[in-house]
Amino acid sequence: MRTAYRTPFGIGSVTFEGDVPDSIELPAKGSRSRPGDCPPAIRHLVEALEAYYGGMADLVASPELIARAGTTPLLRAIYSHVAAIRPGRTQTYGEVAAAVGRPGAARAVGTAMARNPFPPVIPCHRVVGSDGTLRGYGGGLEQKRRLLEMERSHA
């Protein structure tokens, strides 16, 4: 099933089975997703996403969500570490790789960020290139930049 959430960037959606989220689609202008009936746990996630995008709250990735996102021990370690990066702060792909005990695995971190099923709850927008520049983001680099600015202004 799917339900929508509204943000200044457009409409995003949450797919779910029962009361468990399967994925979060980043907001985009022109999205046709619509709010729908959903269990309380999913409604809570939708409300948290809307509050986050409104600059009113940070998102917290539960261990269960990280376990659903990470199908291998390395992915779980990467997602867990990235979820702990404080709002408005950034780390490079290499720093994340080193922090999870895999120095030299920056590309694996990049792949994990590209496949992240729960952005921005697992805040892949806080991971940047080795020179500090913004690199790929499913919602576009402008959205990544604006999210970081929003977080810094509320930190």
Residues annotated as catalytic are: 124
Residues 6+ apart with CB under 8 A from 64: none
What span, in angstroms and rounded, lies between the C-alpha atoms of 61 and 71? 16
Q: Say if residues 51 and 6 touch (Cβ distance below 8 Å).
A: no
Q: Say if residues 149 and 90 touch (Cβ distance below 8 Å).
A: no
Strands 20-28 and 2-7, how do they pair? unpaired
